[in-house]
């Protein structure tokens, strides 16, 4: 069995889990079985098991439950995106010179939302490939941190990171009342800050909405492209790695301070949130968690 295939299965089921974290459903933690990863989603008395198998035929996603139930149909629509025809990958050749942007943390109850921008030029291609830059979902945290260190050292003026700590994030959510608006703001800010130092006319963003970035004042003739599976472009992949490394650093700092926080939005995360609220109060959660998640209502 391929280790990379198993890692892809793990990353894929984590993405599926993240799609459900802002719903009213109770999402359990992910478990590793012999040939698959799985978690349980519950709504009242209804339970559905979400499974991602890894094997010789590649990845296979399965919903285990009553296929005739409305709950099953709703999960099927959410996880398999039957309405996603509007998000079909745009055919767009990778430019020789552009800024790629990506974010991480939007599916994690604890921790910041981090957006990164990276200025890609065709002359960087070989270095990025040798450094191991690719879709960050295929990399573990150790490799993420190693590659990010190389990028920051080799391209000190070619990247920008916007880290929105939980306390600031909660303030922005009250202001914008919508996650996609916060994402638009953070991607736009990272891109505009980088454009003040580099020359390019294209921004490629891993798609999160149909709204273009707000680049007023960034210069003339700058085009914004939101593209499904944007990490297939090296500049976007580099940005995703830088964003995840910055988030890893935040969690490492909290661990150094004696606060071990799980990622994601699983039952384990909810249990930890209850413990911290009971011990330190709700104001403490305001500083370490994104409070608009359904977890906050449940605790």
- Phi-psi region at 44: left, alpha or beta (left = phi > 0; alpha = psi -120 to 50): left
- pLDDT < 70 positions in the chain: 1-2, 56-57, 81-92, 217-220
Please say whether the beta carbons of 6 and 54 come within 8 A. yes
pLDDT value of residue 57: 64
Nearest to 246 by CA among 99, 131, 115: 115
**pLDDT per residue as tens digits for the range 128-159:** 999 999 888 888 899 999 999 999 999 999 99
pLDDT value of residue 173: 93
pLDDT value of residue 82: 40
Rounded Cα–Cα distance for residues 226 and 207 (Å): 5
pLDDT value of residue 70: 83
pLDDT value of residue 137: 80
DSSP string of 234-271? HHHHHHHHHHHHHHHHHHHHHHHTT-----SSSHHHHH
């Amino acid at each position: 069995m391929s280790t990379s295939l198993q890692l892809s299965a793990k990353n894929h089921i984590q993405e599926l889990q993240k799609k459900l974290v802002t719903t009213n459903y109770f999402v359990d933690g992910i478990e590793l079985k012999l040939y698959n990863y799985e978690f349980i989603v519950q709504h009242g008395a209804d339970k559905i098991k979400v499974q991602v198998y890894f094997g010789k035929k590649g990845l296979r996603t399965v919903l285990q439950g009553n296929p005739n139930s409305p709950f099953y149909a709703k999960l099927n629509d959410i996880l398999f995106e039957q309405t996603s025809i509007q998000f079909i990958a745009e055919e767009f050749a990778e430019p020789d010179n552009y800024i790629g942007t990506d974010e991480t943390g939007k599916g994690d109850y604890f921790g910041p939302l981090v957006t990164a921008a990276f200025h890609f030029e065709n002359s960087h291609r070989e270095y990025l490939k040798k450094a191991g830059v690719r879709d960050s979902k295929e990399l573990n945290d150790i490799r993420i941190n190693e590659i990010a260190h190389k990028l920051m050292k080799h391209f000190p003026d070619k990247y920008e990171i916007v880290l929105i700590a939980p306390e600031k994030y909660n303030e922005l959510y009250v202001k914008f009342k919508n996650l996609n608006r916060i994402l638009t703001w953070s991607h736009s800010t990272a891109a505009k800050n980088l454009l003040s130092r580099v020359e390019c006319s294209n921004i490629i963003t891993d798609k999160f909405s149909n709204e273009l970035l707000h680049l007023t004042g960034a210069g003339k003739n700058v085009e914004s492209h939101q593209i499904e599976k944007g990490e297939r472009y090296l500049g976007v992949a580099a940005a995703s790695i830088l964003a995840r490394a910055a988030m890893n650093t935040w969690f490492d700092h909290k661990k150094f301070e004696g606060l071990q926080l799980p990622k994601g939005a699983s039952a384990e995360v909810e249990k930890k949130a209850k413990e911290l609220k009971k011990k330190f109060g709700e104001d403490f959660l305001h500083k370490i968690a994104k409070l608009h998640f359904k977890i906050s209502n449940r605790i």
